[in-house]
Amino acid sequence: MGVNRGVIRRLEMKCGRPLQWVVCLLHANELPLRHLLQTLDGVTSGLRAFSGPIGIAIKTCEELAIVPFEVIEGTSLPEMDEFHIRDLSDDQRYLKDMFEAVSDANCPNDLANRKPGPVVHSRWLTTASRILRLYVSTRNPSSNLVILVT
């Protein structure tokens, strides 16, 4: 399989020319957050760890109590009907709900009790969710945490 016998390679053979492997481009989605987090908080320190205070805190952010927090105003999410919301993965739904909580300055108990996915460098969606979860649990967030949330 893979680069020699995978589906995309077979399509290239059929077409007689190389194709753009769009699946590789999907990794570009994670780059802005990855670079911003590393710039503001320090580099990674292993497969599942960060070296800075924010990166260390997101590892256990779901254990922290929700505190009063400032609304972060910004672009709202597009309206989604139930069909599309049901189609979201658990991680996507959690990120959506945390985004709405931060936008409304209201984190309901059921959301506060949900667990975000694990910290893994290949899952930047859960890293973003954990940053939002840390924000709603931090009384005086650092300027770097506020930048990451906005």
Per the model's pLDDT, the better-predicted residue between 112 and 26 turns out to be: 112
Asked if the model's pLDDT at residue 25 lies above 80, the reply is no
Q: Is 43 helix (H, G, I), strand (E, B) or coil?
A: coil
- Got the DSSP string for 49-117? -BSSHHHHHHTTGGGSPP--------PPPPP--HHHHHHS-HHHHHHHHHHHHHHHT---HHHHHSPPP
* Paired tokens of 128: 């973003």
Angle separating helix axes 31-41 and 124-135, nearest 10 degrees: 50
Confidence of residue 3 (pLDDT cuts 50, 70, 90): low
Quick check: 72 and 102 in contact, CB under 8 A?
A: yes
- pLDDT tens figures, 58-101: 999 999 999 999 999 877 888 999 999 999 999 999 999 999 99
Query: Which residues does residue 44 pair with via DSSP β-bridges, in sequence order?
Result: 50
> Would the CA dihedral through 28, 135, 144, 60 be positive or negative?
negative
Residue spans of the domains in the chain: they are 29-149
Cβ-Cβ contacts under 8 Å for 105 (sequence gap 6 or more): 68, 69, 70, 71
